[in-house]
Amino acid sequence: MPDLFLRSSTDADIPAIARIYGHWVLHGLASFELDPPGGAEMARRRAAVLDGGYPYIVATDRHGEVLGYAYASAYRTRPAYRFTVEDSIYVAPEAGRRGIGRLLLPALIERCTALGFRLMVAVIGDSANAGSIGLHRACGFADAGLLPGIGWKHGRWVDSVLMTRPLGEGQATAPD
């Protein structure tokens, strides 16, 4: 992918991130939000991710245009979950099928592993989301469960697919 670049996100990326996410809120099933949050809310969410010590990265073209983003965050807030992260990946609608997800997800996995996390969880909206399910499988995720009809969006019930991937030594050893 010679024309794609990865880097840590910056405040200047918020408009692009909000635009990408807003599209999928309105037209997709990956997010169960119904109304797209504005730039200020997306900036607040990004700051919370970074303040929590989690990575937040973007993929850009050679001109610096943000084509997708990914971040990890706490899977759950209870302390026993502190070694588990949940991934989120969104690609601009006009940039699909260019390998952006296959660039973002391994980089996110690598960063989370380096930070000492032991398990990554994917909560994928819609069991028919073959692209996201396939991406996660290609990156070493295994099926962990299905929550049938857990959300109502776009006039229909929507499933959530749960997938997991060990990070580093996974559960083979106790964490530091």
pLDDT bin (cut points 50, 70, 90) of residue 161 is very high
Helix or strand holding residue 112 (H, E): helix 100-114
Helix or strand holding residue 166 (H, E): strand 156-166
What's the rounded mean pLDDT across residues 34-57?
98
In total, the chain counts a number of residues equal to 176
Q: What is the pTM of this model?
A: 0.96
Average pLDDT in the chain: 97
**Longest CA span, the chain:** 47
> Is 34 a residue whose pLDDT tops 70?
yes
* pLDDT in the model for residue 2: 67
What's the rounded mean pLDDT across residues 114-143?
97
Looking only at the bridges linking them, the beta strands covering 66-74 and 5-8 are unpaired
> Is 176 a residue whose pLDDT tops 90?
no
Ordered structural domains, the chain, with CATH: 5-172 (3.40.630.30)
Q: What tens digit of pLDDT does each residue of 88-117 get?
A: 999 999 998 899 999 999 999 999 999 999
* pLDDT in the model for residue 125: 96
